[in-house]
A and B are shown apart, each in its own frame.
Chain A
Amino acid sequence: MTESEHIIDASERKLFDWKELLFYKELFYFFTWRDIKIKYKQTVLGFMWAILQPLLMMTIFTLFFGKALNIPSQNLPYPVFVFSGLLIWTIFSSGLTNASNSMVNNAQIIKKIYFPRLIIPVSSILGALFDFLMAFILYIGILIYYQQPVSLHAFWCWPVALLVTIVATLGPGSWLAALNVKYRDFRYVIPFLVQVLFFLTPVIYPISMLTHPWLRYLLVVSPMYAAIELFRMPITGIVPQPEFIIISLGSGVLLLLIGLTYFRKTEDLFADFA
C-alpha cells in the first residue's frame, strides 16, 4: 500500500472492509493466542479446565435432569445427549460473554492504536473455539464409551453446526460489545441474558418435550437452535423440521447484520467513550 492514497475523514464506513481485515489478518491470530495464553496462565491444570468444565456440567445435569427428573433424550443416553448440547452451547455462552466485555477490557489498546476494531470481538469468540476443540476430544471419548453409532452425516453436520454457532455468537456479541462501551449497564445484563437463553434453547431437553406448537416456534427463534439440532443430528438420526431450522438460521443472520451494522456505526467513537 505504499503508493496508494489513503484518506482519513468522517465519512461512513463499509459494513465489511475486506481489504483492511485481510491486511490485519495476523492480529486475529495474535489476539486469540493472547486470550488463550492468559486464560490458563498460573493454573495447575491448564488446558485441562477446558475439558473438566463441560464434564462437571454434564455430570450435574445427568444427575438432576437425566436421573431425577427423567427428561427424555431423543433415544440417547442422557450424558451423551446433554454433553453434545453443552459442547456447542459453551462456544456460544463463553463466546458471547467474552465478546461483550472484550471492547471494554481492551480499552487501553483501543485508545492508543488503530486496527479494525472487529478483530477484538471476533478473536474472543475464536478463543472459545479453542476450548471447544479440547472438549471435543473428550466428546469422542464419551461417544466411544457409550458405543454410540455416529452417521457419516457428521462430516458436514459438525462443521456446519460450528459455522452456525459462530454466526449466532458474532451477531449479538458484536452488538453487545459496542453497547457495552457506551452503557456499562450491559455488563450486568449479559450473564442474565445468557442464563435465560440457556433455558430457552433445547440443550438439556429435547424440543419434542414441548407439546404446545406456539411454544416451539418461540424457541426456534433462538439462533442457537439450528446449531444444536445440526450438531446432534449425526447421533440421534432425527432430522429436525426444516421450517424450524430456517427460522433459526434467519434469526442468526438477521442478528449478525444488526450487530455488525451497529458495531461499525459506533466503532469510531470507541476511543472517546472507552
Chain B
Amino acid sequence: MKPILEIQSISKRYRIQHLAGGYLSLRERMVNALKFEKNNMEDFWALKDVSFEVQPGESIGIIGRNGAGKSTLLKILSKITPPTTGRIVSRGRIASLLEVGTGFHPELTGRENIFFNGSLLGMKRKEIDKKFDEIVDFSGTEKFLDTPLKHYSSGMQLRLAFSVAAFLEPEILIIDEVLAVGDAEFQKKCLGKMEDVSKSGRTILFVSHNMAAVREMCQKTILMNKGRCELIGPSTDVIEMYLKNGMVQACYEGERKQDSPYIEKVYSINSSGELGTSFLNEDEIAVCIKTQNTGSVINLSLGLALRDRLGNKLFTTTKKYLAEQGDKLHTVTIPGKLLLSGNYSVDVAIFIPNGSVYDYARECIAIRVDDFESDMAVYSSADIGVINVPCTWT
C-alpha cells in the first residue's frame, strides 16, 4: 500500500531581523536601505531536512521541546505556509486543527458559529446539517444555541468549538495541542472521541506535550529537535528516550570550586519522590539543592528564583544557612496551585546578603507545569500571566 502522506526532505527558512545594538533608528534604516545593505537579516531554519512517511490508518505522535519545529511542520502540512524546499505528497483530504474554534465570532449565535466554523474546517453544508444535532449534543450547549457566543462561558465556548471539530471526517487529521485546554472531564471525552476517530481507520498526526495521551493514542512517535527529525519509532521507546534525555538537563551539576562554597547539584522531584520536570498545577514542586563548601566562610544565604519562559523573574526565595565544610541538601518546596501552564526555569545562588555572590547557576533547570484543574485552566492558550492567585471576588 502506498503511504498516505510522504514528507520528502522539508525545510523551512525564516528571515529574522538581526539587530546588533538594540533598535535601529529610522535614520539608520533609511541609510541602510540606501546602501542596499541586507546583512542585518539572519536566516533561521525552523525545519531542516525532515522526511518521513505515514501509512493509511496510522496515528503518529510528534513530540519535542518548544521551538523544535513541531508547529512549523504542522503549518506546512496544513498548507498555511509553504516549505522553503522539499515537498509533500498527500493521498487524502487533510483537515487540520491547529486551534479550536478558529473563526468563532462573539456576535454570532452558537448555531451560526457551528455553521461558519464547520465550513472553515472543510465540511460541506449538507454534512453540517446532517451532523448538527450530534454536534450540539456532544457539546451540551443546546439551551444556548440561539444566544450570541459572547454570552457563553469560556468553558462552553471551548466545548462547542471542540464538538464541531470532533465531527470532521477527513482522511488525514492534524491536531496541535488542542487538548491542552478544557476541564479534565471534557478532555477525557475528547481523547475518547479521538481514539474513536483513529480506530475508524483514519490517519492522525498529533502534536502534544502530554506524553500519556501520545502513548495511548499513537503507535508511532516522531521526536523533533532543533528543526530536525531526531527519532522515529514505537511511541513507548521514543517517549522514554525523550524523557531520559530531558532528565539529563533536568539535573544541574555545578563545577567544583576550591576554597569556596558552590552549588553541586540542582534537580526537581515530583510528589512520589522521583526525578521529574513535569508537574501539574496542583502539585507541589520540590527543588533539591545540594551545596558544597570547600572554603571557610560559613554564614551564607541560599537563594532560588523562578523565571517564566521569557526569562522574567517571578519571585525569589532565600534562606540563611550555616555552611559547614562538606555537602548539605536543601529542599525548596514551591506550593501547589500556584503556577499556571507553562515552562519555567530556576536560578540558584549562594551569597552573603548585600555582599559577595559565591556561586550563581542561572536557569540551571527547567520545569514544565500543566494546568487542567484551576479556574484559569480553560484560558491556557491566552495571555493570562503565570501565577494563579486565589483572589476573592464579591
Residues of B within 8 A of A37 (CB): 107-108, 112
Give A2-23 interface residues, CB cut-off 8 Å to B. 2-10
Residues of B within 8 A of A265 (CB): none
Q: Return A126 CB to nearest CB of chain B, in Å.
A: 15
Q: How far does the alpha carbon of A8 sit from the alpha carbon of B94 in the complex, in Å?
A: 12
Q: Say if the beta carbon of B88 comes within 8 Å of chain A.
A: yes
Q: Say if the beta carbon of B96 comes within 8 Å of chain A.
A: yes
**Given A5-B90, A6-B90: A38 and B82 interface contact (C-beta under 8 Å):** no
Q: Say if the beta carbon of B99 comes within 8 Å of chain A.
A: yes
Q: How far does the alpha carbon of A186 sit from the alpha carbon of B358 in the complex, in Å?
A: 56
Interface 0/1 of A103-129, CB less than 8 Å to B: 000001111111100000000000000
Q: Are A113 and B121 in contact (CB under 8 A)?
A: yes
**Given A38-B107, A268-B81: A30 and B119 interface contact (C-beta under 8 Å):** yes
Q: Say if the beta carbon of B83 comes within 8 Å of chain A.
A: yes
Interface 0/1 of B92-124, CB less than 8 Å to A: 110010110011010110001001100111101
Q: Which of B14, B78, B98, B116 lies in contact with A34, CB distance below 8 A?
A: B116
Residue of B nearest to A115 (CB): B120
Q: Are B88 and A9 in contact (CB under 8 A)?
A: yes
Q: How far does the alpha carbon of A37 sit from the alpha carbon of B86 in the complex, in Å?
A: 42
Residues of B within 8 A of A38 (CB): 105, 107-108
Q: Which of A2, A8, A34 lies in contact with B93, CB distance below 8 A?
A: A2
Q: How far does the alpha carbon of A247 sit from the alpha carbon of B262 in the complex, in Å?
A: 83
Interface size class of A (residues with CB under 8 A): 20 to 34
Residues of B within 8 A of A111 (CB): 80
CB-based A-B contact count at 8 angstroms: 91
Q: Are A41 and B103 in contact (CB under 8 A)?
A: no
Residues of B within 8 A of A1 (CB): 93
Q: Are B83 and A41 in contact (CB under 8 A)?
A: no
Q: Are B102 and A7 in contact (CB under 8 A)?
A: no
Q: Say if the beta carbon of A271 comes within 8 Å of chain B.
A: yes
Q: Are B89 and A5 in contact (CB under 8 A)?
A: yes
Q: Say if the beta carbon of B40 comes within 8 Å of chain A.
A: no
**Given A2-B93, A8-B76, A8-B87: A109 and B102 interface contact (C-beta under 8 Å):** yes
Q: Say if the beta carbon of B79 comes within 8 Å of chain A.
A: yes
Give B7-58 interface residues, CB cut-off 8 Å to A. 14
Give A139-190 interface residues, CB cut-off 8 Å to B. none
Q: Which of B93, B98, B119 lies in contact with A112, CB distance below 8 A?
A: B98
Q: Say if the beta carbon of B234 comes within 8 Å of chain A.
A: no
Q: Say if the beta carbon of A243 comes within 8 Å of chain B.
A: no
Q: Say if the beta carbon of B148 comes within 8 Å of chain A.
A: yes
Q: Return B317 CB to nearest CB of chain A, in Å.
A: 39
Q: Are B124 and A26 in contact (CB under 8 A)?
A: yes
Residues of B within 8 A of A2 (CB): 92-93, 171
Q: Are B86 and A9 in contact (CB under 8 A)?
A: yes
**Given A2-B171, A27-B120, A271-B75: A8 and B103 interface contact (C-beta under 8 Å):** no
Residues of B within 8 A of A8 (CB): 76-77, 79, 82-83, 87-88, 90
Q: How far does the alpha carbon of A194 sit from the alpha carbon of B122 in the complex, in Å?
A: 35
**Given A37-B108, A271-B81: A27 and B119 interface contact (C-beta under 8 Å):** yes
Q: Which of A3, A9, A110 lies in contact with B83, CB distance below 8 A?
A: A9
**Given A8-B87, A26-B124, A26-B125: A271 and B119 interface contact (C-beta under 8 Å):** no
On A, residues with C-beta under 8 Å from B are 1-10, 26-27, 30, 33-34, 37-38, 41-42, 108-115, 268-269, 271-272
- Residue pairs across A and B with Cβ atoms less than 8 A apart, 14 shown, are A5-B89, A7-B90, A8-B76, A8-B77, A8-B79, A10-B84, A30-B115, A34-B108, A34-B112, A37-B112, A113-B103, A113-B121, A114-B78, A114-B96
